[in-house]
Amino acid sequence: MDLDAIKSRLNQLQNTTTNSFWKPQPGKTQIRIVPYIHNKSNPFSELYFHYSLVKNKTVLSPLSFGRPDPVQEFADKLKASGNKDEWIQGKRIEPKMRTFAPVIVRGEENEGVKFWGFGKTVYQELLSIIADPDYGDITDPVNGRDVVVEFITAEESGASFPKTNIRVKPNQTPISDEPEVLERVKTQQDIKEIYQELSYEDLTEVLNEWLNPNEEESKEEETESVSASEISSAKSVSNTGDAFDELFNS
């Protein structure tokens, strides 16, 4: 029995999910996207989530692993119905992609590798930079480049949603010259082990519960002074179309 391997795995499991992620704070932060030890050919992990099926909780879609998703199948049927409202509803409930990359935060290297989650706009910009031969692999351990992430709140920008800007540093630098930091880079969680994938049957049950709220949920809604007509309106009219995409794809 490899006791060192067991201790390492125990340490990984004891790490809280909260500590596994990095979220940009207002202002500018310098980070380094590092190679992903669980997929050395690609540091980016594309995962799909349902954001509106369970209150205050995201649900991982099996599409993340190339498996059927009953919610997506139901959404496809709604969009193919020819009814505008049902198409909007189908668009609303289909899973949205979010991409994750392992990073270390400059000045906080002792906290180890964390996952930075971002939307389509930032993802496309990062891919465009890496595809540019003048930049190349910015995650290279020796000749990579740091990234400055600027997070602008909605209040600061005057927009409806926050905005994230990125700027890749021109100088090529190693991840670190400190052995301790490099050792921490080798210790990474598997992003697909952090989120729990529901079975097809369980996700079907989640969908059914969302379509047919039970009595207990109805009582909670009454307590919150939300009328049945307001709930119906919220489910039939998309106020999460372009706005939703802007929020989760930046």
pLDDT tens-digit profile of 19-48? 799 999 999 999 999 999 999 999 999 999
* CA–CA separation, 17 and 122 (whole Å): 23
* CA–CA separation, 15 and 138 (whole Å): 27
Q: Which residues of the chain have pLDDT under 50?
A: 15-16, 222-249
Q: What is the pLDDT of residue 237?
A: 34
Residues sharing a CB contact under 8 Å with residue 172, sequence separation 6 or more, in sequence order: 140, 143, 144, 145
* CA–CA separation, 153 and 163 (whole Å): 7
pTM, whole model, 2 decimals? 0.77
Residue with tokens 């609303």: 92
* CA–CA separation, 138 and 32 (whole Å): 8
Q: What is the pLDDT of residue 243?
A: 41
Contact yes or no for 94/71 (Cβ under 8 A)? yes
Q: What is the pLDDT of residue 221?
A: 52
Q: What is the pLDDT of residue 84?
A: 94
Q: How many residues does the chain have?
A: 250
